[in-house]
Every structure is written in C-alpha cells, then in structure tokens.
Amino acid sequence: MPVILFDTSQRNLLSPFTLTRAIADIRVGIFTIRERWELLLKQKIYVLTDPCLQAAYTKLPEGESLFINASVIADENLLALILNLQLNEAIVKDGEVIAGLLSVNESVSSTAVVPERFRKCFSYDLPLKQLIYPWHIFQLNDEMIRSDFALLATRQIRQPVADNRGWTAPENIFIEEGAVVEQCFINAFEGPVYLGKNTVVMEGCMIRGPFAMGEGSVLKMGTKIYGATTLGPYSIAGGEIKNSVFWGFSNKAHDGYLGDSVIGAWCNLGAGTSGSNIRNDAAAVHVNIGQGRTIPVGLKCGLLMGDYSRCAINTSFNTGTFAGIASNIFGPGFAPKYLPDFTWGFTQRYIFDKAIEHIANWKKLKHHELTPTEIKILEHRYKQTLT
C-alpha cells in the first residue's frame, strides 16, 4: 500500500528549513524523516507538501493510501498501530492526525487530512517524538543518532578497518564501504559513530560520539567533533563542532566554533566563522523566527541557517541567530540575530538574478546544477519577501 508523508500547518513553524523542502526531508539523526520511514517500511515513500514545493516530488498515487504526519519521527511502537488501521480510520493526538488510511484522488491537499475526514479516530496517549520548531532538530539529534545506529547495526555489514589504534569502544563504530579513515581519535564510548559510504576522515581528527557522517562527506585535518553532531552527505567540516546538524552539500571547512546549530543544504561558512550558543548571563535564549514571533528555546541555541546561504570569513553569529534562505551575509561586528530570506550583507536585499547566479555557481563546485524547479521555488519565496 502506498505511504504518504503529509505536511501540516506545522511546517510554517519549521522555517527556514521548510521554505525549500517538505518536512519529510528534514534530517535529524543519521536519516531524514522520509529515509527513516522507508527503512522501517521497506518501501518508497511519497510526499504531500506545500503547493509551491509539490512539483519537486513524485506524483502521488490514487486510491487507498496510508497518510502519516511528516513531523512525527518514526517509531516502531507507533508503526505497529499504524499498520493495523482500516480504511477511514486514524490515530489522533491533541486534535491532530498522526496517521490515517484514506482513499483519495490526485487533487488531495495536506489540509484535508484532518480528524473530521475519518469514520473512526483512536487517541494516541503515549509520548511522541515530533518536530515542532527548528531547534528541535539539534535537541533531538543525540537520541536519534543512537536509535538510527541501532537500526543500521541490525541490517547492514560493517567494513573492517586495518588500524583502529586510538579508538575507544570500536564496537560502537559503524563504517560503510569506501570510507577512508586516516590516523585519528574516535571515542564511541559515550555514543555511537557512523561513517557513511566514501567518507573521508583526515589525519588528526578527534571525534566523540554520537556522530553521524553522511555519504561522501569530509572531515579536514585536525577537526574536533563533539556529540551529538550530524554531517549530511557531501559536506565538509573543519574546526570545532558540537551538537549540530548539517544538511547535504554544506561546508564549514575551516577553523571556528559552531554549537547547538542547524545548517541547511548548500550553505558555506567562511574561514574563521564562529557562533555563540549560550548567553553571557546564562539566561534563556529567545529566537526570532520572523513575523514578530520570538520564542524561548532553552539555555543553548546557536545558528539556524536556511538553504543556499553563505557568510564571509570571520563572521560572528550571536546566540540564537536566525538566518533565512539564499542570503550572502557579511559586515563588521556581530551579524544581526534575525536575517530575512535573501539578505545581502547585514541589512540589504539580494537582487534575485544575482542570488540565482551565485547559487548556481556554488552548486557547480560540487558538480550539480540549479534546476528549473528549484529556481521556481526560490522565485516564489523571493516574491513572498515583497509582501
């Protein structure tokens, strides 16, 4: 039976990361939400999202489909209940559909998947792992790396490494085919370490788990990694990183500190860039997520940077900084704590054609092209900044 991960209005609170992707493609732990469901269900997963993004995804099937709330992180106990649903039945928590079985046509929208649509609803009273705000990504990353590692360890074969001197608890280290691991220190006693296919860990790196490294990514010489950190596929990391999540094709290739942060796809942090993740007075951090909404996060939060954004060398980010998509950030002193989409410098607005040209240049550096669909999405988001 087809399975569809559907977005709810929750996606608006997960900005800037949902401006360019469905909730299903948010990465937390080793996998994205969609990849985790695919691993559990052993099948292709479809996505139902915001109309401006839907063209980037495979056409939805018609007929009976199992709809699962994309903000819910896969759980085997919940999965058992979901798979027992009958047609027009749903699992509901706090008035929100967690999962339901519907027969629909291709014109269905995510806003139509509501409790009133179902003949029978079952209340789910157990705790639920769910992404509500963007900082939940790094706050849940420790737990998710551990659970994802356990899932992988039972289903795949680890690659042997000839020299593991300087490693602690090597039984908690999972290395995929093609990974190149030079002389480095890995401590997996506090948490597991996952090194994906064709990854490179250069000499002198120091890694403390839990840590996940996506396919084709690179740790440059002398990099210091603290848990719980995820480096997405084809990304490059250097300097000092703690409890942060990088999505695919992004770079922090040089010295500088980043902690309790989320960096979107196709981002680049200039050499010497650092971010504060705790206030000097140790008070609670508040993050401005736009439209006048400032929300308390907790004691720690660093940089939240949307896709396609970059910053100059030696950029300093204050505690709890929100940086929107497709921005080129540079200027003297600390960057503002709120940087809207398509920011140029600290306060000006990127010219759209220049933004597209520069993004395309960055994609070419990693042998990719900016697609017409991606340009259309960015153009739509750019026009929204005019209103």
Backbone angles phi, psi at 314, to 5 degrees: 60, 25
**pLDDT of res. 274:** 97
Backbone angles phi and psi of 149, in degrees to 5: -60, -45
If you search the block for the tokens 């505690």, which residue do you land on? Answer: 319
Residue type, 14: L
What pTM does this model have?
A: 0.94
Nearest to 196 by CA among 148, 162, 244: 148
285 near 278, Cβ under 8 Å?
Answer: yes
pLDDT for residue 352: 97
Amino acid letter at 172? N
| Token pair recorded at residue 372 | 């017409």
The pLDDT value recorded for residue 161 is 63
Which helix (H) or strand (E) is 151 found in, with range? helix 141-153
Closest CA to 352 of 386, 323, 321, 322: 386
Residue 77 neighbours by CB distance under 10 Å:
8
The residues near 178 (Cβ < 8 Å, ≥ 6 apart) are 197, 198, 199
Q: What would the 3-class secondary structure string for 306-324 be?
A: CCCCEECCCCEECCCEEEC
The answer to whether 319 touches 279, Cβ cutoff 8 Å, is yes
Which residues fall within 8 angstroms of residue 84, CB to CB, at 6 or more apart? none
Q: Which residues of the chain have pLDDT under 70?
A: 106-107, 155-163, 165, 387
- In this structure, are residues 187 and 181 in contact, taking their beta carbons and an 8 Å threshold? no
Contact between 164 and 158 under an 8 Å Cβ cutoff? The reply is no
Cα-based distances in Å from 266 to 113, 124, 196, 366: 32, 38, 19, 10
Cα separation, 208 vs 212, whole angstroms? 11
Q: How far apart are CA 310 and CA 335, in angstroms?
A: 12
How many Å apart are CA 214 and CA 191, to the nearest integer?
17
d(CA 48, CA 58): 9
Long-range interactions of 274-283: CB distance < 8 A, separation 24+: 274/315, 274/316, 274/317, 275/302, 275/303, 275/316, 275/317, 275/318, 275/319, 275/321, 276/302, 276/316, 276/317, 276/318, 276/319, 277/242, 277/301, 277/302, 277/319, 278/319, 279/319
